[in-house]
Structure 1
């Protein structure tokens, strides 16, 4: 009995931000570009920090937060993060996020799967908005702690073909009390085409407010 409980609490979760067989050449190229600038262990066994940090991604926030195993069993225990709820690799959202604390920048590398279709052969606008909110929401959380999206404005400049890899880059413009203002642009993997530009307002919130639904 105790052994079963221990395995439930300490089993290693799957990190969805690591490469899998569905990732295309451009997805891998950008992943390796940023990952090569992350920290690494030297031959002497020392950890050398780089300007960028890869942010791990799981299928639920609660389950892998401090005390989250308990909470995830009590609050909608079957819930899954929207962008990580499909087990078919490459079918929906394939992405990885990196953060640069020195420059206060967050980037996301996103490969759009075939189940995200809107206009024939292209990515649905709602799926695009989801990825923008994911990147800038993560950035705002790093800047201010837990936040909720209060306003998100997106200019759709150019459609994204299904299967393509795009790059999202966000920056924090300013903070005002509980408010944090963030901007983001989504470009082609080589930066030559602008697909969207957006602005957002996030408001910091206490975790207890989320859990109690207040």
Structure 2
């Protein structure tokens, strides 16, 4: 299979340098590309694999409620507007795009994820049905000292009747604090996460999850987090996390 894939990509290189008016060269490249049935099958699949435009799950969809859209528009305005005549001290916000699996859309990552890890999916983006589970969008300040996540919990995240499962809340806390840490020094891994649940989150409601960088110490990033109602009047959950920056080689170990 490795040799087959190698021959296929050799064929791509051949096509890339192919003069359209040279039939002998076309014939030679075809013999490289289509030696086996399995290779022909893979070649037919490649345009669908590599040509599909990735879906950004952090953009509004029909399932977003009023509060979700209001907060999204609020941070979106802050991401585009800078007060005229004032200096930007890092208080402008930036929206983070979010895909099924970020690796797929990094340079070269599509090959790893689609061919080698074809069944892998980012957990919070695994359900494609809008509004069924994790609906969220993350914004970060340009100085990277703070992140804000707007989270709407779908019906698949039920724990206690009518309320969001504590594990789903922990997942979102780990997601935003981990994302925040990775903005500071990617890649990172969660070393410790302490969560205190203060009040339950009604299923289907929208909450604001804010993370703040508390301290940096060598490879360590200490981040605190609060989950509140959209107007900030009610505290649902608070947490602290410790994240360690690691090398890429560490991630590739099996």
Q: TM-score by structure 1 length?
A: 0.90
Where structure 1 has 5 or more consecutive residues not aligned to the other structure, the ranges are 41-48
Query: CA offsets, 1:137-164, max 9 Å, x none?
Result: 0000001111010100000000000000
Q: C-alpha displacement at 1:75, in angstroms? A: 3.9
Q: Is the 8 A contact 1:166 1:187 kept in 2?
A: yes
* Equivalent-residue separation in structure 2 for 1:36 and 1:80 (angstroms): 31
* Equivalent-residue separation in structure 2 for 1:178 and 1:102 (angstroms): 19
The within-5 A match list for 1:16-31 is 16-31=57-72
How many aligned positions are there?
A: 205
Task: Return the structure number with greater helix share.
Answer: 2
Larger Rg: 2
Q: C-alpha displacement at 1:7, in angstroms? A: 6.0
Q: C-alpha displacement at 1:208, in angstroms? A: 2.3
Tell me the residue number matched to 1:46.
none
- Picking from 86, 92, 103, the partner of 1:62 is 103
Off by >4 Å, runs of 4+ in structure 1: 1-7
Q: C-alpha displacement at 1:36, in angstroms? A: 0.9
Query: CA offsets, 1:66-117, max 9 Å, x none?
Result: 2101111354321111000011110100000001023621000000001101
What RMSD in Å do the two structures reach over aligned CA positions? Answer: 2.0
Q: Is the 8 A contact 2:206 2:230 kept in 1?
A: yes
Q: C-alpha displacement at 1:206, in angstroms? A: 1.5
User: Higher relative contact order at CA 8 Å, sep ≥6: structure 1 or structure 2?
Assistant: 1
Task: Return the structure number with greater strand share.
Answer: 1
* Equivalent-residue separation in structure 1 for 2:215 and 2:116 (angstroms): 34
Q: In the alignment, does 2:82 pair up with 1:82?
A: no
Tell me the residue number matched to 1:167.
208
Q: In the alignment, does 2:103 pair up with 1:72?
A: no
Q: In the alignment, does 2:158 pair up with 1:117?
A: yes
- Picking from 25, 37, 40, the partner of 2:78 is 37
Q: TM-score by structure 2 length?
A: 0.76
* Equivalent-residue separation in structure 2 for 1:9 and 1:55 (angstroms): 23
- Picking from 12, 15, 31, the partner of 2:56 is 15
